[in-house]
Amino acid sequence: MFQIFGRAYPGVHPLAHALRALLERHAGNGNEDATVAFNIVDDHRVPPSREDLLLNSLGAPIGGATLKQGFTDFFKSNIRGSRTPDFILAVNAPNRVPIRSGFEGDGLQPGLSLVRLLNLTGLERVYRNYALPASEEFHGLVNPTVDFTVWLRDKCQAGDAELEQFITATLSMLNTDRKKHAYQPVWATLWDEFKPYLDHPDGATRWRQALGLKPDSHPCWYAVLKYPVGEVGDLFRPTQLDADWSGYHHPSPAGVPVWRGGCTMDCRGESDRPLSEYVHQQIDHKPEHWTLAGGRVKLALMEDPLGFQALRRRHHDLLVDHFGEAARRWRL
């Protein structure tokens, strides 16, 4: 019987034909479409109520290409561009991470620190939108012909005082912009788990790999932000619906407590345990979120020693080693 979102269905599920087509067409060749199709089959974390929202959005009939485009459209409308993304609603209650006030019981304490990588390179549109002649930090982009890559490099390689001013201005810009344009979700991990990677010789390249961030087409500048759980409001275990059509997301095994979050896929294949991962809504970031993380800004290269399929297999084996045979899956 064909499973979808980790559940067996007695009849023919509306997604069954499209998923079978993607799995049979691309199985075994490392194709990301087949990988995401498998994730949809396996992702037990998507509750039936969120599945219904997806199905209502997709309509019928649903073919392989229709599913991929519809899935991405659903992500953009219901998550990325929404003030009330699906993951914060009651339909996603099973994935809400419990926050505890004491030292006993399941959940995360509000004073526990999270960390996220802020991709400065990905903010070109926002920087240019705020590049007014009177803007002290961004006026250099008023001329649309200015090379953004060179401009950002110079900002990120400036002296300590200049860099701090730039990051402070960047965070203030984002705090303003998020009130105009929703951009969800924020992905984060636990500071204590990520801390060993901070001073790795490969710098931000290793940061990106450890967090399982899908490689971009060009190097990216990342700033490290550290902030307490208590400042994010509600925190959630992510699902494939929150990751868009990305095979760099891998469902966490069934039976793992919700407060443990998801499991990042190391793009280097060297981690001895997966890092926890969580999603939350946009928040205002303070300058101290950057300074408390060590004032780090570095350039990440998009180098992954293993191929995509090998990464998935290595990650799968790591989950089995870490969580036991219950984490083993029939297809990667």
Query: φ and ψ at 78, to 5 degrees?
Result: -95, -15
297 and 149 both lie in a single domain: yes
Q: Is the previous residue joined to 274 through a cis bond, with omega within 30 degrees of 0?
A: no
101 and 248 both lie in a single domain: yes
CA 117: distance to chain centroid? 10
Cβ atoms of 258 and 94 within 8 Å: the answer is yes
Give a yes or no: residue 223 inside a domain. Answer: yes
Residue 30, C-beta contacts closer than 8 angstroms, at least 6 positions apart = 307, 308, 309, 312
Full residue range of the structural domain in which residue 239 is found: 96-327
177 and 307 both lie in a single domain: yes
Give a yes or no: residue 147 inside a domain. Answer: yes
103 and 89 both lie in a single domain: no
Q: Which of 93, 113, 143 is the last residue of a domain?
A: 93
Q: What is the dihedral of CA 9, 14, 18, 19, to 10 degrees?
A: -30
- CA 286 to each of CA 168, 171, 277, 303, 306: distance values in angstroms, whole numbers, following the listed order: 8, 7, 22, 31, 37
Q: Which of 65, 93, 121 is the last residue of a domain?
A: 93
Q: Which of 69, 93, 117 is the last residue of a domain?
A: 93
**CA–CA separation, 229 and 227 (whole Å):** 7
Give a yes or no: residue 332 inside a domain. Answer: no
75 and 104 both lie in a single domain: no
* pLDDT score, position 23: 87
In tens, the pLDDT along 50-88 reads 999 999 999 877 887 889 999 999 999 999 999 999 999
pTM of the model: 0.94
* pLDDT score, position 137: 95
Give a yes or no: residue 307 inside a domain. Answer: yes
Give a yes or no: residue 45 inside a domain. Answer: yes
* pLDDT score, position 9: 86
Number of domains in the chain: 2
CA-based angle 286:290:293, to the nearest 5? 135
> Identity (one letter) of the amino acid at 303?
E
Which regions of the chain are under pLDDT 50? Answer: none
173 and 37 both lie in a single domain: no
E strand segments, 169-219: 186-190
* pLDDT score, position 12: 85
In tens, the pLDDT along 267-291 reads 999 989 999 999 999 999 999 999 9
**CA–CA separation, 130 and 30 (whole Å):** 41
Report the chain's terminal Cα–Cα distance, integer Å: 18
**CA–CA separation, 4 and 70 (whole Å):** 17
236 and 156 both lie in a single domain: yes
The 8-class DSSP code of residue 78 comes to I
89 and 30 both lie in a single domain: yes
113 and 32 both lie in a single domain: no
Give a yes or no: residue 124 inside a domain. Answer: yes
Q: What is the dihedral of CA 197, 186, 111, 288, to 10 degrees?
A: 70
**CA–CA separation, 197 and 135 (whole Å):** 35
191 and 311 both lie in a single domain: yes
- CA 330 to each of CA 3, 5, 41, 327: distance values in angstroms, whole numbers, following the listed order: 12, 14, 11, 10
154 and 54 both lie in a single domain: no
194 and 241 both lie in a single domain: yes
